[in-house]
Structure 1
């Protein structure tokens, strides 16, 4: 049986070498300009992520949610650390808090204006998670957990996922908001909302994972 697989693999490889793929004639067509015109935003990457391949983006968000649930599941039966070490020297605390402030501002900028310039929801969420991580390495786990519960971060994370899926399904059905004026802050239809929802999801999900790993593994 294995010889059949070997022969099939060799035949497929020969096919790649001998039979060229027909190249489309794109001399008069600019892919970037087409995506920008269809999405109504200058950032063609966001247009592709939240419009042309929105179906894939939905499952990327779902996979990230499953990864967070997996972290909780895998560490649920382990014993929390009795002592969690963190940065206590004043220079490190000041630098980490300053970095967290700057990163948080960058995260907000990327979430709000990600459809107009390089950036977007995923980058904004990573920046937000980085800001939370910088605060976590200089704060007590109990304080971070208390804030997480006080602001119901877990609930908002789930709500952002549900709203994202609903808006994405509505968009896939063919219902779109007005694109507005190209380059304006309120433009691109539903894309800015999807950007913000992804940023919230990724940032809050990163917060949850950071708390779990600090509780069971300490500072990595």
Structure 2
């Protein structure tokens, strides 16, 4: 049977290399008109953010809920395990300096992606990932107790839950038909509720990542 798969793979490769892609050529003007329509409809230059946070906002609500359930699942599955006696972290000075420098850069990128995600490539999910990366880099260079004390001091768990509730409430209001003024396309204060939704998603993903990082450090000793 292997030779059948090999022949089929070679035939598919030749098709991609030799035959022209008529569908792509014919769809190019249509694609451009669709993107222009999305930008005009949402009021943001980043059509991807417009689709995620307006045209298919109903799906995005459940994506946020799924991420929340995933974090709850991590907490549930690790609840019965014994905390790890050893935590593996960077101890040499050069690695610590580089990791914390990377964390600073990631944190700044996270803020940029959250605030300007509707104007340029980026958005809430990307910003949350960058923020979670920053937290992870700090975690592997700091003591577990210090990280947990910061988590408790700033009420990160409560802020995460509040951000989810605010996102769902704001998204529901948008789906009903009530929206903020779109403003001038290309300006920072444009796109109606899209910038606010981006910021809420970024907070949720970053703080949810912080929760998962602390749990894995506590029960597994590493990220």
**SS of structure 2 residue aligned to 1:30:** helix
Shift of 1:137: 0.4
Structure 2 residue 137 is matched with structure 1 residue 111: no
**SS of structure 2 residue aligned to 1:103:** helix
**SS of structure 1 residue aligned to 2:128:** helix
2:175 to 172, 175, 179: 172
CA pair 158-28 structure 1, distance change in 2 beyond 3 A: closer
CA pair 43-139 structure 1, distance change in 2 beyond 3 A: same
Q: Runs of 4+ in structure 1 displaced over 4 angstroms?
A: 26-29
1:217 to 209, 216, 220: 220
Normalising by structure 1, we get a TM-score of 0.87
Shift of 1:83: 2.2
Shift of 1:27: 4.9
Any idea what the Cα deviations from partners look like across 1:89-121, whole Å, max 9, x if unmatched? 000000000000000000000000000000000
5 Å-filtered alignment, 1:1-220, equals 27=30, 30-220=33-223
Shift of 1:149: 0.3
Normalising by structure 2, we get a TM-score of 0.86
> C-alpha distance in 2, partners of 1:161/1:37?
28
Shift of 1:132: 0.2
Which 5+ residue runs of structure 2 have no aligned equivalent? 1-25
The answer on whether the counterparts of 2:85 and 2:221 sit within 8 Å (CA) in structure 1 is: no
Query: Aligned-pair RMSD on alpha carbons?
Result: 1.7
> C-alpha distance in 1, partners of 2:136/2:31?
48
Partner of 2:7: none
CA pair 65-181 structure 1, distance change in 2 beyond 3 A: same
Shift of 1:218: 1.3
**SS of structure 1 residue aligned to 2:178:** coil
Shift of 1:125: 0.1
